Structure 1
Amino acid sequence: MDQPLCLIVMPFGRRKDATGRSVDFDAVYERLVLPAVRAAGLEPVRAEDARSGGVLQGHSYQRIMHCDYLVADLTTANASVYYQVGVRHAVRPNSTVLILAAKSAQIPFDPDRLQGVRYRVSAQGLPEHEARYRALLTERLVASRQGPPDSPLYQAVPDHPVFAGTPPLDLRDNLQHSADLRQRLAQARCQGGEAVREVERQLGDLALCESGVVIDLFLSYRAVNWWNEMIDLSKRMPPDLAATVLVQEQLGLALSRAGRGEEAEHVLRDLIYRRGACSETYGLLGRVLKNRWEKALNGGEKKAAKDLLDRAIDAYLKGFEADWRDAYPGVNAVTLMELKEPPDARRREILPVVFYAVEQRIRSGAADYWDYSTLLELAVLGLDEAKGIDALGRTLAWVRAAWEPKTTARNLRLIREARLRREAEIPPWTERAEAELLKAAERGTARP
């Protein structure tokens, strides 16, 4: 006998809540939600809509209405999740369980009144006291089917008619088909571009495919560096899916990698115009303009290079101003300001703010190689030997792949060469840092 279906609506990967805390939702799913759902005797179904920016299709509504249970994570205060919970509450008096990480920003209603489960996460954004919260979630799921209504609508209007729609006969088959396709794409990414293309041939009409599967295909082409195929796929997607922030940002990246920098800039600027300022989008725009600046500089196009450098700085600076907690556009802005001739005086004002942003992230416990390498780069820019030597040691300890220290060494080289051209101070410790990074790149792993 088939187990009851439980739809799980929550983000994928790492996402920030409204307080700026980073939560690893894949870890929350694997270590807390998934085992709790299975312990309740239910078959878990993770909603894929979050991958596509919350684009809901016909099958999305079918699952919201017809799955026997639904678990929704409200931690990020995502409007699409609220909407899906609203649809569910309108058609089901029972069997909807809300969860969220404790100490998240306030949401527009009281989840405790609806028997919500507040789980705890560590400074690293990983679930804590998992056994306790797994047991609590399992208990809530078991009790939710026969207990009093958990829907505010049915609580307020007891005689509201209960949805009596019949689940589509192919609901389970469609779920299994989508899971099989995602598994094939995962295998194809390990085999190369031709294998990914073969899976696409098997999909048929993209308009009939789940949005999550189409996004998985799109990102699979990115994983194998098939930029032109990404660009082509974006044109054949359903228009509402192609217009999402995720697709437009990745399309900008693909266009840039395919040597179509001007088109990439247009796509990203249009996205900012339509959706508003965002540190990630501005960061990508800065990266596109930085690549074009380097190309113009290497080609001897000095006037074009100067204009592109100014525009790259402007994009990175706007990205940092959009979210002061995101140090990526900030460090790129101050580094490019250092490379200008003469250097941009604003870099001295921005430098300590970027330092603070990185240090706060490190204190949160969610740091990785790039946080420590950013501290190193900022120390070189600020000529702070004590911070630089400390950051170098931590950077080398966090190396995961050869390209990481190679990228950082390249940034330090660009700073050194710019200072050489204007005969500015180059402390010996900065050159030693560059040399140590290149050694780490040769090893490809953390310092022994």
Structure 2
Amino acid sequence: MKVPKADSLKKIAFVAMPFRTKPTGLKPGAGPDSVDYDALWERAVKPALLELDYMPLRADEQAGSVIIKDMLNALVHADLVLADISLDNGNVYYEAGVRHAARQAGCILIKANWARPLFDLRQISQIRYPLDSSAPTQEQYQEVQSILVETIPVYAESVGPVYELVRGVDSPDSYDNQLRERTVVLYEFDTELTSARISAAKGEKEPLRQMLSPERLQQLPKFALKEVVDAVRDNLNWSRLVEVIDSLPATISNEAYMQEQKALALSLGGELPDAIAIFDELIKREGKTCLRLGNLGGMYRRLASSSMARQKTQYLQAAIAAFRDGMSLDLNDYYCSHKLLVTLVERDRKGDQEEAKTVSSLLDAACQRAVNVRSDDEWLAPTLLIHAFYRKDVEEIREYADLVSGQSWSNWQLIGLLADLFTILKLPMDSDLTKEIESKSHDEDTEFMLEICREIRSDLPVEQELLMSKILPQMDRAENVYRKQGEVEARLAIEGEEIISITNSGEEASQHAREGEIVVRNNTDAKEVYLVEAEVFEKRYDSAKPVAAEFQYYEAAGKSLAFEIDHEMSTLLGVGAEFYIIAPWGTEQYAQEGDYFVCPLPEKGEIYRVGKPEFESTYVAV
């Protein structure tokens, strides 16, 4: 990444202010009852700083900003610090204090016209702005912006009173320029990562993959690498997450957080013994935490679900022991307590129901405390939903289900939530919820809980097992047989190389080649690329000539069942008009009504999606 010369870099303005919507605590008539600080930032403060030719950085507490992790550095070396003291926010006062003690000038306090500071600050530079409504109009935001544009230059060089009493450590211009250069790199990276996250959430994952080159990662500090790992975890596949972590320098990849994420990826990728070994080693090396013990218990619980009776008992006992241990570390941490509650319901041995009632009381207290302190933990609403399921509290179930649906959760998080809800309902994860609801064999409250599970599951990608059980019979009955027409290009795959398939409808999937696989490239406008095993290639294509290291042309020969995805089919799967499936190779495929499900013959062992344009240009009815 090219860094501009120091003399061309913008000045940096670091803004300390609350985030999200905060209550003011004012009496009726004294001012607004709340302030949306995110809107104030986006519609007034940030535009004002941009107009004054500053690079605005906001010191909020929202995850995802890799720049603000360098907060103290920025507080000291930024050209300007704005601190909004309208509310009694300790963080903002602290950040303003750091700046006042460290630099001679460049710290301005801003506040709403109704603000009552914690103590007398009249001797310190301040800007007052009007904010009389909880929902200001654009004109009112514009007025705040205009006031800031007019007054910031006036106060920017005012000497702070603390500096006048105790001389600070003004840094040389060269260090300030280093900060600017570093901030530009991180600012551009943060912007690119945010954009890549948004694209990945829409199924366009190539921008995120482009950020994962070793050369690019080597430029980034540790806190930025953590953001990269989180983005890969939530948007790419588990094997890719392991690869990224393993590619980092050992001093970083061996840190506790990175090892925890690697273990999570291994466990959700099916390598549970290796994941458990990592957590055992972490606990020995770094000590116990609620999170580590909770994750360890969860891995033992997943082992139990796929084990024989004797091992199942042993693994459930190990899971319960880990959850108990984690809960005892901190009764206010509801992660282990809610997992313990669910696992006791699952095991259902003598004494488990009584223990579950005790755990339920502790869980209720921990969650209530989190609600009272206005915790923004993304796991709070799902935990409350699970607890409401346990108590069969229909009113709370609806409330917390709505909160969960409003969260931008990744598939792996929703699957974990559903696993707990199904456990409480004593149903397997592959249950046909529509059939369960229509059977009328459950009471009214349970039917409502089943409906909630169906709502949540409709947002998840459709697994191969469900496709084979629901869609294959439809394809068999229709007997729509097609053969692939025309030529394709093929070459031997290089073990470990990443193959990304792009269709006319956008990105389709990513695969990593295994030994002996073949790369196939369709002769279409999209030039989509995918991997097939050698024996499959021999059945689907004219393989008279051997496959070589370079692309060669081969005539398509295989036949398949195919069925256009219509509304009836999407309803059968319990999804909307647009959805994802898990492809046979393990990654997500985007699908929509009008595309085609294809099942190769004669095996009938898998189903995948082919976009409508690709299908019509490469398949012909037999």
TM-score between both structures, scaled by the size of structure 2: 0.49
Q: What residue in structure 1 maps to residue 14 of structure 2? A: 8
C-alpha displacement of 1:95? 0.7
Q: Distance in 1 between matches of 2:17 and 2:254?
A: 19
Q: What residue in structure 1 maps to residue 345 of structure 2? A: 338
Please say if residues 405 and 440 of structure 1, whose CA atoms lie closer than 8 Å, have aligned partners that are also in contact: no
Q: Distance in 2 between matches of 1:225 and 1:27?
A: 31
Q: What residue in structure 1 maps to residue 426 of structure 2? A: 417
Please say if residues 298 and 319 of structure 2, whose CA atoms lie closer than 8 Å, have aligned partners that are also in contact: yes
> For residues 333-378 of structure 1, what are the alpha-carbon distances to aligned partners after superposition, in whole Å with 9 as ceiling and x for unaligned?
3222333423163432332343355456667888999766544533
Q: Distance in 2 between matches of 1:315 and 1:100?
A: 47
C-alpha displacement of 1:94? 0.9
> For residues 65-95 of structure 1, what are the alpha-carbon distances to aligned partners after superposition, in whole Å with 9 as ceiling and x for unaligned?
543213468988679x969964x54552111
Q: What residue in structure 2 maps to residue 435 of structure 1? A: 450
Q: Distance in 1 between matches of 2:45 and 2:286?
A: 35
Against the structure 1 CA distance between its residues 251 and 272, is the aligned structure 2 distance closer, same or farther, given a 3 Å change threshold? same
Q: What residue in structure 1 maps to residue 54 of structure 2? A: 42
Q: Distance in 2 between matches of 1:30 and 1:348?
A: 47
Q: Distance in 1 between matches of 2:322 and 2:120?
A: 44
C-alpha displacement of 1:48? 11
Against the structure 1 CA distance between its residues 232 and 14, is the aligned structure 2 distance closer, same or farther, given a 3 Å change threshold? farther
Against the structure 1 CA distance between its residues 317 and 374, is the aligned structure 2 distance closer, same or farther, given a 3 Å change threshold? same
Q: Distance in 2 between matches of 1:366 and 1:185?
A: 26
Against the structure 1 CA distance between its residues 317 and 117, is the aligned structure 2 distance closer, same or farther, given a 3 Å change threshold? farther
Q: What residue in structure 1 maps to residue 297 of structure 2? A: 289
Q: What residue in structure 1 maps to residue 213 of structure 2? A: 201
Q: Distance in 1 between matches of 2:37 and 2:328?
A: 28
Q: Distance in 1 between matches of 2:41 and 2:257?
A: 22
| Match 1:269 to one of 283, 302, 318 | 283
Q: Say whether residues 1:216 and 2:240 are aligned partners.
A: no
Q: What residue in structure 2 maps to residue 423 of structure 1? A: none
Q: Distance in 2 between matches of 1:128 and 1:330?
A: 40
C-alpha displacement of 1:394? 2.7
Bigger radius of gyration among the two: 2
Q: Distance in 1 between matches of 2:265 and 2:17?
A: 24
> For residues 261-306 of structure 1, what are the alpha-carbon distances to aligned partners after superposition, in whole Å with 9 as ceiling and x for unaligned?
2144236536862xx85xxxx2464134223322234211135313
Q: Aligned residue pairs: how many?
A: 400
Please say if residues 301 and 316 of structure 2, whose CA atoms lie closer than 8 Å, have aligned partners that are also in contact: yes
Q: What residue in structure 2 maps to residue 422 of structure 1? A: none
Please say if residues 293 and 304 of structure 1, whose CA atoms lie closer than 8 Å, have aligned partners that are also in contact: no
Please say if residues 218 and 230 of structure 1, whose CA atoms lie closer than 8 Å, have aligned partners that are also in contact: yes
Against the structure 1 CA distance between its residues 39 and 272, is the aligned structure 2 distance closer, same or farther, given a 3 Å change threshold? farther
Please say if residues 252 and 268 of structure 1, whose CA atoms lie closer than 8 Å, have aligned partners that are also in contact: no
C-alpha displacement of 1:379? 3.9
C-alpha displacement of 1:223? 2.7
> For residues 8-46 of structure 1, what are the alpha-carbon distances to aligned partners after superposition, in whole Å with 9 as ceiling and x for unaligned?
266998899xxxxxx998667535642453365533145
Please say if residues 286 and 312 of structure 1, whose CA atoms lie closer than 8 Å, have aligned partners that are also in contact: yes
Please say if residues 48 and 145 of structure 2, whose CA atoms lie closer than 8 Å, have aligned partners that are also in contact: yes
| Greater mean alpha carbon deviation, residues 312-321 or residues 402-411 | 402-411
Q: What residue in structure 1 maps to residue 587 of structure 2? A: none
Please say if residues 396 and 440 of structure 1, whose CA atoms lie closer than 8 Å, have aligned partners that are also in contact: no
Q: What residue in structure 2 maps to residue 225 of structure 1? A: 236
Secondary structure at the residue paired with 1:345? helix
Q: Distance in 2 between matches of 1:139 and 1:72?
A: 17
Please say if residues 324 and 337 of structure 2, whose CA atoms lie closer than 8 Å, have aligned partners that are also in contact: no
Against the structure 1 CA distance between its residues 308 and 30, is the aligned structure 2 distance closer, same or farther, given a 3 Å change threshold? farther
Q: Distance in 1 between matches of 2:55 and 2:446?
A: 57
Q: Say whether residues 1:307 and 2:313 are aligned partners.
A: no
Secondary structure at the residue paired with 1:350? helix
Q: Distance in 2 between matches of 1:333 and 1:215?
A: 29
Higher-helix-fraction structure: 1
Q: Distance in 2 between matches of 1:412 and 1:205?
A: 39
C-alpha displacement of 1:164? 4.4
Query: How many percent of aligned residue pairs carry the same amino acid?
Result: 18
Alignment of 1:396-415 (within 5 A): 397-398=402-403, 399-400=405-406, 410-415=419-424
Letter in 2 for 1:432: E
Q: Distance in 1 between matches of 2:83 and 2:258?
A: 24
Q: Say whether residues 1:392 and 2:434 are aligned partners.
A: no
TM-score between both structures, scaled by the size of structure 1: 0.65
- Structure 1 spans left out of the alignment, 5+ residues: 17-22, 122-126, 419-425
Q: What residue in structure 2 maps to residue 349 of structure 1? A: 358
> For residues 157-206 of structure 1, what are the alpha-carbon distances to aligned partners after superposition, in whole Å with 9 as ceiling and x for unaligned?
36x68544346667655544443334444454436666534323274461
Q: Distance in 1 between matches of 2:60 and 2:371?
A: 31
Q: Distance in 1 between matches of 2:45 and 2:416?
A: 38
Q: What residue in structure 2 maps to residue 179 of structure 1? A: 187
- Structure scoring higher RCO (CA < 8 A, sep ≥ 6) equals 1
Q: Distance in 1 between matches of 2:457 and 2:180?
A: 50
Please say if residues 82 and 108 of structure 2, whose CA atoms lie closer than 8 Å, have aligned partners that are also in contact: yes
Q: Distance in 2 between matches of 1:69 and 1:434?
A: 53
Secondary structure at the residue paired with 2:354? coil
Against the structure 1 CA distance between its residues 369 and 213, is the aligned structure 2 distance closer, same or farther, given a 3 Å change threshold? closer
Secondary structure at the residue paired with 2:213? helix
Q: Say whether residues 1:257 and 2:272 are aligned partners.
A: no
Please say if residues 67 and 183 of structure 2, whose CA atoms lie closer than 8 Å, have aligned partners that are also in contact: no
Letter in 1 for 2:448: A
Q: Distance in 2 between matches of 1:267 and 1:24?
A: 45
Letter in 2 for 1:222: R
Q: Distance in 1 between matches of 2:286 and 2:120?
A: 33
Please say if residues 67 and 187 of structure 2, whose CA atoms lie closer than 8 Å, have aligned partners that are also in contact: no
Letter in 2 for 1:309: A
Letter in 2 for 1:261: A
Q: Distance in 2 between matches of 1:69 and 1:366?
A: 31
Letter in 1 for 2:422: R
Please tell me the root mean square deviation across aligned C-alpha atoms, in Å.
5.4
Secondary structure at the residue paired with 2:426? helix
